Amino acid sequence: MGLLSKEVLRGRFATMSVVDLLEWIERRRVTGKLVVDGEAVTRTFTLDTGAVVWASSTEPTEQLGQILRGSGHVDDQTLATSMADAAATGPLGARLVEHGAVAPEHLRAALLTKIRESLCDLLLWREGSFDLEPGPVPAPAGVRAVIAISDVLALGARRAARWPEIRTAIPDDDTAFRRVERAAARPVAAAAGGLDDARLFAAVARGSGVRAIVAALGGERFAVLDRLAALVDAGVLELAPESTMPLTPAEHIAEAEQLALTGAWDRALTAAAQAFTAAPENKTVAAVYRRIERARVADLAHALLIGPDGRAPVPVLRRGAAELDDLGLADLERRLLHAVDGRWDLLTLVQHAPVRAAEALVVFARLIDRGIVDMT
């Protein structure tokens, strides 16, 4: 590790290990910014008196929005709506909480997962470089998440013995999988830690590789790889080339435009939202997303807000509370359903929703399509 100035420290992990660097940061109670560069990813960690309070990554599947979506708390349309709000400021997570789209406790859990798994993966690095810039840093806005380095080091040590077994079963993160006929598979214990095998197998069926599967299960990298390796060892899964690649923003936008031409506004908005969340800085993508969102909302307003008799329809729940718990509802869906009491009409509900009326209307339309809400 070399001292470039009074403030910046730079080095390589070939000469100073990740563990030594992190222990030094915690021991010195460093406040500042740590940037690490590996072969395929760059991560940035914000430090506060020796603890880690923020993490960002150049790997798309490690972004906070992807983790929240994989955890089932938001969907692409909710993410796109928050990102498209020109009047909003601050990090995406803080905006989602402010808009009522994500519960604060779910955002904190996602942030903790993101920081913890990023640091634990860093512990496996043997090559790469780092830049450590001590000094005051702005506190992350909104919900605060704090990870103690000593806790991560202890967790990494507990996981260390399993990693060689995982890498024997799954050589790299470009690997995908396919199901094996049940007769050829051996019994395997249920997934630990609340990992959802149904979502895991759905991602496998899509031909997703390791990175996409981890994102689809909320960023729990070690837990997902551990489960995949166990299923491979049991003969439930076998390795396969990654058969699907995510569509590019341009491909999503082209799909959205084509769907819009046929009047399939719901699917068009979903495709446009996927493009926008992947490339929010692209002006063409942003313009198409906003145009399709306006068209979708206008279509829904005409269909849902005024009934044939001229009065505003009243939403009623078609499912009981116990059933709702099993439906995998996003945070905003749950919040809007709490207001459905069989008395308030839909226009009143969307006007008083915690999010924009347009976004609330789109969510209610989805709940109606799923048979969760009926209109009377």
> Over the stretch 283-315, which tens digit does the pLDDT of each residue have?
899 899 999 999 999 999 989 998 888 888 999
The arithmetic mean of pLDDT across residues 239-258, rounded, is 85
Chain centroid to Cα 135, Å, comes to 30
* Angle of CA points 256, 260, 261, to nearest 5°: 120
Give pLDDT tens digits for 339-363: 999 899 999 999 999 888 888 999 9
Give pLDDT tens digits for 26-44: 999 999 999 999 988 999 9
Q: Are 317 and 373 in contact (CB under 8 A)?
A: yes
- In angstroms, rounded to a whole number, what is the distance separating the alpha carbons of residues 181 and 70? 27
Of residues 318 and 12, more confidently modeled: 12
- In angstroms, rounded to a whole number, what is the distance separating the alpha carbons of residues 167 and 351? 52
Give pLDDT tens digits for 108-145: 999 999 999 999 999 999 999 999 999 988 877 778 89
The arithmetic mean of pLDDT across residues 80-104, rounded, is 78
Looking at residue 3, its pLDDT comes to: 43
- In angstroms, rounded to a whole number, what is the distance separating the alpha carbons of residues 364 and 343? 16
The arithmetic mean of pLDDT across residues 55-75, rounded, is 88
* Residues pairing with 33 in the sheet: 46, 133
- In angstroms, rounded to a whole number, what is the distance separating the alpha carbons of residues 218 and 297? 29
Q: Minimal CA–CA distance to 318: which of 332, 337, 339?
A: 337
DSSP per-residue codes, 276-332: HHH-TT-HHHHHHHHHHHHHHHHHHIIIIIS-TTSSPP-EEE-S-HHHHHTTT--HH
3-state DSSP call for residue 132? Answer: strand
- Please give the mean pLDDT across all residues of the chain: 88
pTM: 0.83
- In angstroms, rounded to a whole number, what is the distance separating the alpha carbons of residues 282 and 276? 8
- In angstroms, rounded to a whole number, what is the distance separating the alpha carbons of residues 40 and 51? 25
- In angstroms, rounded to a whole number, what is the distance separating the alpha carbons of residues 245 and 268? 20
Give pLDDT tens digits for 180-192: 876 555 667 777 7
Residue 86: pLDDT over 60: no
Looking at residue 247, its pLDDT comes to: 80
DSSP per-residue codes, 168-218: HH---TTEEEEEPPGGGPPP-PPPSTT--HHHHHHHHHTT-BHHHHHHHTT
Phi, psi of 120, deg, nearest 5: -65, -40
* Residues pairing with 43 in the sheet: 36, 57
The arithmetic mean of pLDDT across residues 67-79, rounded, is 88
Phi, psi of 43, deg, nearest 5: -120, 145
Looking at residue 2, its pLDDT comes to: 43
Give pLDDT tens digits for 147-196: 999 999 999 999 999 999 999 999 998 899 999 876 555 667 777 777 88
The arithmetic mean of pLDDT across residues 220-233, rounded, is 94
Least confidently predicted of 45-54, 73-82, 203-212: 73-82
Looking at residue 325, its pLDDT comes to: 77
Q: Are 50 and 26 in contact (CB under 8 A)?
A: yes
Tell me which amino acid residue 127 is: E
The arithmetic mean of pLDDT across residues 202-207, rounded, is 90
Q: In Å, what is the CA distance from 338 to each residue of 116, 253, 328, 331, 367?
A: 33, 34, 15, 11, 13
Residue 22: pLDDT over 50: yes
Phi, psi of 338, deg, nearest 5: -60, -25
Looking at residue 376, its pLDDT comes to: 87
Q: Minimal CA–CA distance to 127: which of 220, 281, 268, 11?
A: 11
Looking at residue 87, its pLDDT comes to: 56
